[in-house]
Structure 1
Amino acid sequence: MSTNFNNGYLELIIGPMFSGKTSELLEIYKKCNFCNIPVSIINHNLDIRYHDTMISTHNKIMAPCIQTNKISDIWFGSNTIFNSDKYIPHKLLRESDVILINEGQFFPDLYETVIDMLKNNKKVYICGLDGDFERKKFGFVLDLIPMCDSIKKLKSICSLCRDGTDGIFSMRLTNETEQTVIGADNYIPVCRNCYEKRMIMHRKSEKV
C-alpha cells in the first residue's frame, strides 16, 4: 500500500466475478485502520445484496461504506451540499487519505471524479469487473489504466472444470441481454475453453 501522502496514487483491482476483488479492498481497509490512516469506502447503490449501508464480500465480511449512484455527488462540494444528507459523506471523503471504490464499473462519473481525487493527493483503490458477460468493456474502469500506478488482475477458479483451472471470465447463467444484471447467482467464473464451448452451444441453439 502506498504511504506517500504528498502524491496521488491509483491502483486498479480487476477480474471476473468471485475473484476476491472486494476481499482485496477490505484488506486495504483493515491495514488503514490498523495504521490509523483515514480511509473511506464507496459502494454503488446497485450493490445492496447483503446490506444497504455496509460493503460485503460473498462470505459476508463487512465494513461501513458510503452508498451512492454517482461519486461526484459526494466528492464535489456545492452551495447546496452543506444543507443536505450528502454533507457528512462529503466531509468524510475529503478528510480521507485513502479512498476505496467498490464495483467501479457501475459509476458513470468514475473517470473524471477519480482524476480530481488524484489531483488532491488521494490514494485511490478501485475494484471492478474488467469485462461484462460478453467479454466487452464494462463501464469506465479500464479507461483509467493510462492514469494508474498499478494494476492487479485477480482470477477465480473455473466453476465448470473444477480442477483448479483459472476462471478469468464471468459467464451469465440467465438469458438476459442487458449489460447490467445484478445477482451473484446469475454468474459463474469460467476459463477460456469453457467460455468458448458455451458460446458455440449458444450459437447453435440460436440457429435451431
Structure 2
Amino acid sequence: MKSGRLVLIVGPMYSGKTSELLSYVEIYHLGKKNYKAFKPSIDNRYDETFIVSHNNTRVKAYPIKEPKEIFKILEGNEKAVFIDEIQFISEELKDIILNLIDKGIDVFCSGLDLSFKNNIFPTTSILMGYADEVIKKKAVCHECGEYTGTISYKTIENGGEIDIGGFDKYIAVCRDCYKKLNEKQKKEQKINMNKLF
C-alpha cells in the first residue's frame, strides 16, 4: 500500500492558511474522493462545526478535543484528512497523523507556527519535521503594509498565550514592526507603573 503524505500550511494570522487548506479540500471534493475535516473544539470563533476562513469560505468539520477522536469519526474509506488550527491540538496528533499516512491517507494541516510571544507552538513544530511539504505563508504587515508579516501581534493585554480571537485581538506584523510595537508597549507599561508610585 502506498503511503499518504503530510502537507503542512503554517504562518501568522491573516496569511491565508485556512483558505489554502480549503483549496485542497476542494480538489478532493471535485475529484469525488472521500475525506473528513477536523478542527479543535476550542476554536468556535466563526462556527462550531465548520472550518471558516477569514474571507468566509467554509467546509463542514468535526470539532475534536483529543486527537484520538479522529479515529472514532473516520469510516475507513477516506482518501484525505484535513485539520485546521493544529496549534490548539495536543502533541499526540503526531502519532494519529503518522498512523493515517501509513494507511495511505493524505493529511493536510494548517496552523500558527509562532505565538504572539514569538514562541513556537509545539504541535506545529513537531509536524513540520514529519511533513512531506511545508508551505510557509506570509501576511501583509498591519503596520508598514509590506508583504513580510510572519508574526501575530496581540493588541490587547489580557488572556494567556492560548487566547483565541481575530481582528479584535490580533494583527499580523513583520519582524521589524514586531520589535517596534514591543518596545512601545514596554515604554507605555513603564510610564503607567511610574504613575502608580
Say yes or no: does 1:183 pair with 2:165.
yes
What percentage of aligned pairs have identical amino acids? 29
Q: What does the per-residue CA deviation read over 1:64-119, in whole Å, with 9 as the maximum and x for residues that have no partner?
A: 111111121231xxxxxxxxxxx5x232xx32111111001111122121121122
- Structure 2 equivalent of residue 12 of structure 1: 8
Bigger mean CA offset, 169-178 vs 126-135? 169-178
Output aligned runs, 1:26-65, within 5 Å: 26-65=22-61
Output aligned runs, 1:39-118, within 5 Å: 39-75=35-71, 89-91=73-75, 94-108=76-90, 109-118=92-101
RMSD: 1.5
Bigger mean CA offset, 187-196 vs 169-178? 169-178
Q: How far apart are the structure 1 equivalents of 2:6 and 2:74?
A: 20
1:177 Cα deviation (Å)? 5.2
1:156 Cα deviation (Å)? 0.7
Q: 2:157 corresponds to which letter in structure 1?
A: N
Please say if residues 138 and 147 of structure 2, whose CA atoms lie closer than 8 Å, have aligned partners that are also in contact: no
Aligned to 1:32, the other structure's residue is in SS state: helix
Please say if residues 111 and 141 of structure 1, whose CA atoms lie closer than 8 Å, have aligned partners that are also in contact: no
Q: TM-score, normalised by structure 1?
A: 0.85
Please say if residues 44 and 103 of structure 1, whose CA atoms lie closer than 8 Å, have aligned partners that are also in contact: yes
Q: Which runs of structure 1 show a deviation greater than 4 angstroms over 4 or more consecutive aligned residues?
A: none
- Structure 2 equivalent of residue 120 of structure 1: 103
Q: What does the per-residue CA deviation read over 1:117-171, in whole Å, with 9 as the maximum and x for residues that have no partner?
A: 1221211111000000011011311112221111000011011112x33211100
Q: How far apart are the structure 1 equivalents of 2:8 and 2:149?
A: 19
Q: How far apart are the structure 1 equivalents of 2:32 and 2:60?
A: 16
Please say if residues 110 and 141 of structure 1, whose CA atoms lie closer than 8 Å, have aligned partners that are also in contact: no
- Structure 2 equivalent of residue 199 of structure 1: 182
1:174 Cα deviation (Å)? 1.1
Q: Structure 2: which 5+ residue stretches go unaligned?
A: 192-197
Aligned to 2:182, the other structure's residue is in SS state: helix
Q: How far apart are the structure 2 equivalents of 1:19 and 1:142?
A: 18
Q: How far apart are the structure 1 equivalents of 2:23 and 2:69?
A: 26
Say yes or no: does 1:23 pair with 2:19.
yes
Please say if residues 4 and 101 of structure 2, whose CA atoms lie closer than 8 Å, have aligned partners that are also in contact: yes
The number of residue pairs the alignment matches comes to: 189
